[in-house]
Chains A and B, each alone.
Chain A
Amino acid sequence: MLTRLLRPADDADGVPDSVLTLTAIILLLRPLDVWWLAPFVLAAACLSLILRPVRRAPLTWVLVAVLVAIRIVYVWPLSDNHIYLLAYWCLAMGLALSGPIPAATLSASSRWLLGAAFAMAVLWKAVLSPDYVDGRFFRVTLLTDERFADASLVFGGLSRDQMAVNRKFLEPLPEGAELLEPPAFVEPPRLRAFSAIATWGGLVLEALVALLSLIPAEGRIQLARHASLLLFCATTYALAPVAGFGWLLATMGLAQCRPGQRTLRGAYAAVFILILLYSEIPWAGVLAGWAAR
């Protein structure tokens, strides 16, 4: 058993090096925030980038999965969702690399993991959260979450003064209380439209990814699956401040590409870089600055 976990998987088995490399890069780009775990994960990521036998050894990824799982337990319940997905993904890579048909196993694991994660997300948004489909979530978030503020100014047509007034309006009162003269609330039609597009665009795209991932079919369905995932990553992470999630999804999508699908592989690599640019370039802030001049 240990020999199997230590033995690097052959290239002939087809798990692309790019999938393993990008996963290691994700670990480096967003290190775990627990000091006594982070050095080991970073070391494993560095070694796997430098040394091919480490990169292709199942044990590397099983160990990383265990370290990520320890982090989840240690900070429970504060971890973001994609940290759980990262743990599942590293475990899936370790198990796939130790099996007889690594590439096919990893591709199937990726599809089922994505299908399950997106199905859960759709369940929450469409059924379990009363404040999503009625638009409240994005109407409030676009105004109160600083990370979306610049996008609200650019696409919602708000001024900074109006934003400040709206934030004042959205400050809570004790239950049952009501102000005699509540502050004004300014919601231009463009902002309302922006929040509706974010609400329904996100839900439809996520439902599409979930559905197409859970249908175990090839051919056109497979292409549609890739197209929906690429579109989701390219649009969502322009605004959503969780680049680590986007990188993980792109890497998992890449793992589902067959060896001959060079264009698709290139598209996933491009989306990975695009999400990197989204996260490092404050493009909405620059646009908001220009618009305010």
Chain B
Amino acid sequence: MFARTAGLSPWKGGGFGMFSTTDDAGRRHVRVFVSAPERSEEIAISPSLEDAARRAAVWPTDAALSRLARRVVEREGRYRRPVDTVRIETWRIKYAPDTLAATTSLMRDFVYRVDETPAPRR
């Protein structure tokens, strides 16, 4: 049900959809952008963010994306880099039916404002 309504990968969640679709964890990824006064950039997913990033990619719920965003804010804080907003894009790879031409498709665009309620864009 969550795979049909909430973006959960059919491979996960115990619904026995593995080996049924190319929409697996390996073909999903997140891109993380941070911004603050005089700063706006995409950051790499460091090892300390990998677990939260994988969970958010497999099931991009507000809770999972907020958790990843909080980890990003904590990590940036450790390096004394300011963050006002964390924007997380969740992407998946799709293949055309006959040609198999591969494209990336945006699943979610999520904005987390530090010290504010997360505001999902779509």
Subset of 13 A-B contacts with CB under 8 Å: A80-B12, A80-B18, A81-B14, A120-B16, A124-B10, A124-B15, A128-B17, A128-B20, A141-B22, A145-B26, A173-B104, A174-B103, A185-B100
Interface string of B2-27 (1 = CB under 8 A from A): 01100011111111111111110110
Within 8 A of A (CB), among B68-112: 93-95, 97, 99-106
Name the distance in Å between A204's Cβ and chain B's nearest Cβ.
14
Q: A interface, how many residues as a size bin?
A: 35 or more
Contact B21 A170 (CB under 8 A): no
Task: List the interface of chain A (C-beta within 8 A of B).
Answer: 72, 76-81, 84, 117-118, 120-121, 124-125, 128-129, 131-132, 134, 136-137, 139-141, 145, 169-177, 182, 185, 202, 240, 242
- Residue in B closest to A135 when the chains form the complex, CB atoms: B97
Contact B20 A121 (CB under 8 A): yes
Contact A172 B103 (CB under 8 A): yes
Contact B13 A136 (CB under 8 A): no
**19 additional A-B residue pairs with CB within 8 Å, beyond A170-B95, A177-B103:** A78-B58, A80-B12, A81-B18, A117-B16, A120-B15, A124-B10, A124-B21, A128-B10, A128-B20, A131-B23, A132-B21, A136-B22, A140-B22, A145-B26, A169-B100, A169-B102, A170-B102, A174-B103, A185-B99
CA distance A30 to B107 in the complex (A): 33
Contact A172 B13 (CB under 8 A): no
- Is B113 close to A, CB under 8 A? no
Q: B interface, how many residues as a size bin?
A: 35 or more
Interface string of B33-45 (1 = CB under 8 A from A): 0000000000000
Chain B hits for A81, CB < 8 A: 11, 14-18
- B14 in complex: contacting residue of A72, A131, A169, A173, CB < 8 Å: A72
Contact B22 A121 (CB under 8 A): no
- Residue in B closest to A84 when the chains form the complex, CB atoms: B14
- Residue in A closest to B59 when the chains form the complex, CB atoms: A77
